[in-house]
Amino acid sequence: MPIPPDTPLHQLPLPGLLEMASEALFVDFRKDLVEAGYGDIRPTHGCVFRFVHEDGMRLTELASLAGMTKQSIGEIVDDLAARGYVERIPDPADRRAKLIRLTDSGEKAQGVGLELFTELEQRLADRYGAERVADLRTLLEEIAATEIPQFVPELSRPEPAAV
């Protein structure tokens, strides 16, 4: 298929551009994590820190939310357990099942990570303008909530009540 005549050959495809911007932000985030004393946390661990809260969740639910296989998420959980950030505990609703729960160290790391993301977003606002960053966030949230709502439960909107 020929390239449309109004498309510059040097223009980066939008998905590639988004990926590069994301990678640039994660480079800064990883540097901040190391400086905060969490250099053992890897990018792949983010799915666990993103979704596991309070009382924990089953591995199958975590895998579904993260869009990963149970085997893949299980390996990540095993790694985080070995590092002391998560633990497996019996599920009170079904003693045969296990819940993945953050340890005290995991909760502290999760809190530090959230603070670092907030600081990173503030640095972007300082560099590029608060309004532009807020507009970017709004657009990206809309795209994610529309295109892949199953992977962004944080963005789910309650259905309007029937009248």
Please tell me the predicted confidence (pLDDT) of residue 7: 65
Q: What pLDDT digit, counting tens, does each position of 45-69 carry?
A: 999 999 999 889 999 999 999 999 9
More confident residue, 68 or 5: 68
Give the residue numbers spanning the domain of 73.
17-150
How does the average pLDDT of the chain come out, rounded?
91
Q: What is the CATH number of the domain that holds 26?
A: 1.10.10.10
Identify whether 8 is part of a domain: no
Please tell me the predicted confidence (pLDDT) of residue 12: 87
What predicted TM-score, i.e. pTM, was given to this entire model?
A: 0.84
- Determine the Cα–Cα distance for residues 108 and 91; give it in Å rounded to an integer: 23
Identify whether 61 is part of a domain: yes
Domain count, the chain: 1
Please tell me the predicted confidence (pLDDT) of residue 100: 97
- Residue of 77, 74, 95 whose CA lies nearest to 86: 77
- Determine the Cα–Cα distance for residues 92 and 2; give it in Å rounded to an integer: 59
Identify whether 34 is part of a domain: yes
- Which residue is listed with tokens 């972007």? 124
Identify whether 55 is part of a domain: yes
